[in-house]
Amino acid sequence: MVQGEKSSMRRYIKIHGIVQGVGFRPFVYNAASRYNIKGYVINTANGVFIDAESDKQSINGFISEIKNNPPELSDISKIEIEKRPGLGYKDFEIRMSRDEGGFIPVSPDMATCDDCLKELFDEKDRRYRYPFINCTNCGPRYTIIKDIPYDRPLTTMGKFKMCDSCEREYKDPSNRRFHAQPDACADCGPQLIWEGAGMLQGEQALQKCEDYIRRGKIVAIKGLGGFHLACDARNEQAVLALRERKRRYGKPFAIMVKDADAAGTLSEIDSGERALLKSRRRPIVLLKEKPGVLAHSVCPGLDSVGIMLPYTPLHHLLLRDLDIPLVMTSGNVSDEPIASDNEEAAERLKGIADGFLMHNRDIYARIDDSVFMYEGGAVPVRRARGYAPMPIIADNFADCRQILAVGAQDKVTACFLKAGYFFLTQHIGDLDNAMAYKYFKDVIARYEKLFRIAPEVVAYDMHPGYITTDYAGSIEGKLHVAVQHHHAHIASCMAENGIEDKVIGIAYDGTGYGDDGRIWGAEFLLADLEGYERLAHLRYVPMAGGSLAIKKIYRIALSYMFTSGDIYNEFIDKINSKEYKAIKWQWDRRINCPEVSSMGRLFDAVSALTGLREEAGYEGQAASELEAIATPGSTHESYDFVIYDEEGMDIIDPSPILKEAVLDVKNGMELCIVSTKFHNTVIKFTLAETDAIRKKTGINKVALSGGVFQNRFLLRGIRLGLESQGFEVYTHHKVPPNDGGLSFGQAAIAALKTRR
């Protein structure tokens, strides 16, 4: 107890931010005991409210404790303190939660904490090897919440009645499971179920799953936000079978290993990557692979592998028992949402998995694993489990209208803005089928309900053919704001970095609809959050076949050839003569040949013309493989390029790059050197054009965004090159640079355009 003055004072404290599901009320209760505070703490839909009464010194110490030492998983955005007359409270209590119709952020699901992990493997502990062990510091949150406030009856744990032992912990303020809503044990909580050749429960179910994996079989495992498909990552036959059954051709698989040291046997890992890998949010981290350990088909053609550590007790048991790396990929057929319900998984995955390790704790919100890379800090590639629905807070947007932004067509997320909180949804994916579109609408409805959002404005991509554009148009009675694709990219980078004044925005990606009706993708914009001016771009190329060329990338190579007039007969000879004639006829007449200025398509053209890859199994495959063979830090020279003026617009013509690259290959140069020279050239013309724009405009701030900036060679080279020239450079660390961050930028732009 802290000794203080005798005169009593009372303060009503309102705490906003991520303060539910993180042990905040128990923390407040125990702090109140230490500082001799009387009154109460309560969860509401607007935050955690504390009515505190004591002497001045105790009150000040209590408030300081809340501000400076809150629970690890909490994130306080604002504290409001009101003076109130004393009431003479006799004790301090945790009161029943109440719903006042407001909203409060919800904690993401968090990886198993060290305390729970210690108990999990302690033979003397009553939760020894219990696969659903958790406490206020870890475990499921977002995936089990049906509504706020966050109390057990409003979660999928509501059907499990706590045993006497668990209930004692739950009611004991000194216990770390005090008011832990998913609290359970083997006597009263969820149980494992095996369905394969027969049905088993508990430890027997786990052992059967492990036996299947050792024998080279594929198993569907229910996790926090859905099912994974798992197999031995060293077993080429098992990995190939998984690819065939899942219809995932070429795209890399993620790997789970038991700890960071095990990750180090599979990959090169520096201190920043190790810290990210071990963080409580446990994302998949893209690491440089060490050859010869994993099956070749885990990540064919790439030099990096996505690795994650266990984040549930079940994962820890599996990886500790098996002690091998596991493929741990989303439980779905490619392009479908992840399966989350037991019956749904049994139906959708029956042709893929040889057996199912399920449990009877329902998943209310399906969510994929997050994916990050580390380049100048953590950079999200896919923002999902462990991060969503954690908001991005920007007080300068607090007085804006409520916004819904719906993203584009691929790598879709939606984003809501309310009272300065940007709620970026989890990764939803490509909206290529009815199942994905339903998931998209379900996630939007869930966020609106959970955070009490009633959008006044709907923001969307200006592309007229996107399904998200149609969806936005179907919402009546709202203000509608169309946002140019690359402006949204730059705005997302600006908003996450708190930049409001003008920047030179460099947007490098695959395709985005331009305001001239053409397809953009390598853009230099003078931009702020309210508008932009396009100052430079790659030369337009009519792309034969439109979107078909994204997979048949030899069509892009031919389009560049026809545009420049540089004809490479060795390349033409590889193509079926009838198809070549059809493509040429189509290109000459500009039939389904949209004009494109795209960095992603330039990478495709280089890959095809140099013989690296002529068709892509997934978007970005050629670019990823081209990056994989480049050698960062190399002193190899670059290729020539031309920048010319066209009616006040700088045009970057890559024709000399392609011509020289083809000649290098013809003369026997190794592809790794060709790739390095090409990457160096992109860096070189980016720096040259950015400097030219600075001289014209006086702007010294640069924002880098777009999916191409997932290329670490380019991101590092451009960032460091610009910084060496004295530019202030801003990159992504909160939202993905790809289209997964697009809705965030749309929301920021729409907010300012419709501000009252």
Buried b (16+ CB within 10 A) or exposed e, 63-79: bebbeeebbebbbbbeb
pLDDT of residue 3: 46
CA distance 610 to 614: 9
On whether the CB atoms of residues 489 and 523 are closer than 8 A, the answer is no
Instruction: Please give the pLDDT value at position 100.
Output: 63
pLDDT of residue 518: 97
- Asked whether 282 and 276 are in contact (CB, 8 A), the reply is no
- What is the phi/psi pair of residue 616, to 5°? -115, 130
First to last CA, the chain: 50
What's residue 312's pLDDT? 98
pLDDT tens digits, 605-662: 999 999 999 999 888 999 999 999 998 766 669 999 999 999 999 999 999 999 999 9
Find, among 23, 226, 21, the residue nearest to 141 by Cα. Answer: 21
Name the nearest CA neighbour of 8 among 92, 93, 94, 87.
87
Q: How far apart are alpha carbons 289 and 337 in whole angstroms?
A: 28
Tell me how far apart the alpha carbons of residues 461 and 94 are, in angstroms, rounded to a whole number.
47
Q: Which residue has the tokens 């953009």?
A: 520
Whole-number Cα distances in Å, 123 to 118, 130, 139, 649: 10, 11, 21, 71
Structure confidence at residue 6 (pLDDT): 58
H/E element, 686: helix 671-697
Q: Please report the pLDDT score of residue 472 as a whole number.
A: 97
CA–CA gap between residue 539 and residue 640 (Å, rounded): 15
Residue 54 in tokens:
């004591």
CA 670 to chain centre: 35
What's the pLDDT score for residue 1? 40
Q: Give the model's pLDDT for residue 163.
A: 97
DSSP state of 145: B
What pLDDT does 103 receive?
73
Beta-carbon contacts of residue 201 (< 8 Å; ≥ 6 apart) = 191, 192, 193, 194
In the predicted model, residues of the chain with pLDDT beneath 70 are 1-6, 21, 99-102, 633-636
Helix count and strand count (H, E) for the chain? 22, 32
CA distance 724 to 727: 7
